[in-house]
A and B are shown apart, each in its own frame.
Chain A
Amino acid sequence: MTPYFKKLSAALSTRSAADMFTVIDTLLPGFTTKNVLAPIRPEWLGYKDLDDMKKAFLPGALEGYIHEGKLYAVPPIASVFSLYINKNHFKEAGLDPEKDYPRTWEDIAKVGQKLVKRQGSTITREAFDFAMHSSAWTMWYMEALTRQHGGSILDAAGKKCTANSEAGVKAMEVRSMYARKHKISDPTVSVGTNALPADDVPKGRVSMFISHAGSVAQFGPKVMEHIKVVPFPQVNPAKPVSIVYGFALAVNPHIPEAKQKAVHDLIKHVMANPKEWYDKTSYPFPSADFLQLPGMEVAKKTRYLDVFVGDIKTGVFVTRSPHFIEIADAMHRAMERVVLKGEEPKKSLDQACTDIDRALAKK
């Protein structure tokens, strides 16, 4: 959890939050169940109702912001995780980045053996790496892997942890196999931090890395000349599952209705220029007609917009729970025990589920 959201929580508790503020979809259940967000009024944004508004967005793009049939935030960006590969590293290793890029997790292990660089037993350049810096990122990876194996982190009611199921164990095996089994990844090499988790990519310290669409803007066009973005790896490419998330604009419920209406006008204004959002952030705008906007054809070629939008279409939001942060932290500790200490995935996930169930049992 970033300091911004801690400050936002404190501001909401003291009723000193701004009239309009940003929320991330993962924290929304924690806020909506405590009535600290005002419901969004589609009619004030120029739509007939919520169904009409949904039609104007990419399918499912608003689902992460809906609670008990009401919309609580409007997303100007939709983010997704895709695979960044270093074209130069591929060519050096005798691989064609246009054809030989990995489609599955097993493919990563195979091409990784050609891409990894070692000095004795020490890896000097990783073939592939998962970011280790934050529990939210761990949760995004683990959620995607678990769902690709047919499981989920929580049961359908959101009351019990199921991350230690067979699907969860397989997911954890994939999460750890590059470091422990295939030896193409070394957690001691990565220098990614919270501000720049994908920093190893532009520095050439890793050949393949999963990151969000915003990394395109963070790296800049010069670095992106040597980078190719390909779809999120799958267990079974015929049944793709990826993870979407986003930041969205919410309204303070403690301001008068007239002011809330004015905030809706501001949201409408902010949402009126998707191209500007995209140019500056490289996060796709989740509107239904986004790809048809002028300039987007070029972006498909130079900024891999079509890859990101493709992953958004197969994407689902992560586990909805008011206890998301505790769940993510428990999963992160489980991952650390397996990846860093070599603990058995099942044993580690059993411990994670004990921690998660304890959190879920609390009011």
Chain B
Amino acid sequence: MAESYAPAAKVRPKAGFDDRLPLGAAWGGRLSLRARLRWAGFLFVLPALLHLLIFKFYPMLEAARLSFFRYDLLTPPVFNGLLNYKAIWENPLFHQSFWVSAKYMFGVSLPEWFLALGLALLLNRRMPGQPLIRLAYFLPIAMSQIVVAMVWKFMYNPLGLVNTLLGFVGIGRTNWLSTEETALPALIAIGVWRGIPLFGVIYLAGLQSIPKEYYEAATIDGAGPWQRFVHVTLPLLMPTILFVMVMSLLSAVKVFLNPLVMTEGGPNGTTRVLPYFIYETGFAYYRMGEAAAASMVLFAFVFGLTLIQLRLLRRGGVE
């Protein structure tokens, strides 16, 4: 029996499982197991890495290069230094788009943080038909984004479902997508509706990973539901909350399809988010250099935002 409790260091591993031993000529060299595993790992991630390099990083570098050129798609690019950056800085439409993006980003993210948490808390309790309810609230994410945009466009139509329902409670007809005051809130509402289920699931996973013993101990100590939420749930859920904050802001700032399909940036530019401005400048006005410069500004903004949030994540104890 004593042998079975012997220190591990004294147990000699069998040959072939020791990464310090030579592995023979099968792989054409004297690679250790650790090196072989490293190579195997690298080969497994290589397709994804190539995809990233070719379809993400190369276009990003190319966009960065193009931002210093005048390029109209139809004739060869001409170097013009920082003039594209100067042009977008002097363009009021760029500033308008930047603020529209900021309004959209916070307009969507802030409600998502709270509503998704509320939904997750609700679904974390036992209730009849729970699997069906979970399926139902997850449906908005399962739907194709273009389908979502088209369906909501019909719903926001002057004769559509939204106005019909509001008509029952005496609220007059509104052309939601053609009125300056309502167009952006209408798009924000769709963003929130689509984001809540996703972030709700993430919150739910976070909630279910909190050991029940903590709640039992708090209950024995006399803590009520609110105290349990504030002193047990919130601190332990903090990494998830910060993750949701990062992800929701990043996904909101990239919104493009809904403004493209539903409003084309109008009316009067009130839904022209920065990605739509970039698209319009490049492909409608043939000013690819300025579009690339605006992309770089958006990239810097998102990068800065991510750095701030990563710092917040670390402060919240998430590595």
Contacts and interface: CB of A to CB of B under 8 A. Distances in A.
Contacts of A188: 158, 173-175, 178-179
Interface in B246-285: 266-269, 280, 283-285
B286 A9 contact: yes
Interface in A189-236: 189-191
Contacts of A31: 74
A336 B266 contact: yes
Chain A contact residues, majority secondary structure: helix
A6 B284 contact: yes
Contacts of B267: 336, 340
Contact of A359 (B73, B75, B92, B285): B285
Nearest to B283: A6
B194 interface: no
B269 A333 contact: yes
A36 B87 CA distance: 26
A190 B267 CA distance: 14
A122 B74 contact: no
Interface in B150-181: 157-159, 172-175, 178-180
Contacts, number: 70
A13 B158 contact: no
Nearest to A189: B158
B91 interface: yes
B178 A132 contact: yes
Contacts of A1: 283-284
B45 to A, nearest CB: 31
A341 B73 contact: no
A30 interface: yes
Interface residues of A, number: 33
A184 B178 CA distance: 18
Nearest to B268: A336
A12 B74 contact: yes
B112 to A, nearest CB: 29
A187 B159 contact: no
A12 B75 CA distance: 10
Interface residues on B, range: 20 to 34
A9 B175 contact: no
B159 A340 contact: no
A13 B157 contact: no
A31 B74 CA distance: 8
A119 to B, nearest CB: 10
A18 interface: no
A280 to B, nearest CB: 28
Given A1-B284, A325-B285, A191 B73 contact: no
Highest count of chain B CB atoms <10 Å: which of A31, A337, A340? A340
Contacts of B173: 122, 188-189
B256 to A, nearest CB: 14
Contacts of A363: 70
A187 B174 CA distance: 10
Given A191-B158, A333-B269, A34 B174 contact: no
A6 to B, nearest CB: 5
Nearest to A341: B180
B177 to A, nearest CB: 10
Interface of A: 1, 6, 9-10, 12-13, 30-31, 34-36, 122, 132, 187-191, 323, 325-326, 329, 332-333, 336-337, 340-341, 355, 358-359, 362-363
29 contacts: A6-B283, A9-B283, A122-B172, A122-B173, A132-B178, A188-B173, A188-B175, A188-B178, A189-B158, A189-B173, A190-B175, A191-B157, A323-B285, A325-B284, A329-B280, A329-B284, A332-B266, A336-B266, A336-B268, A337-B268, A340-B179, A340-B180, A340-B268, A341-B180, A355-B92, A358-B90, A359-B285, A362-B87, A362-B287
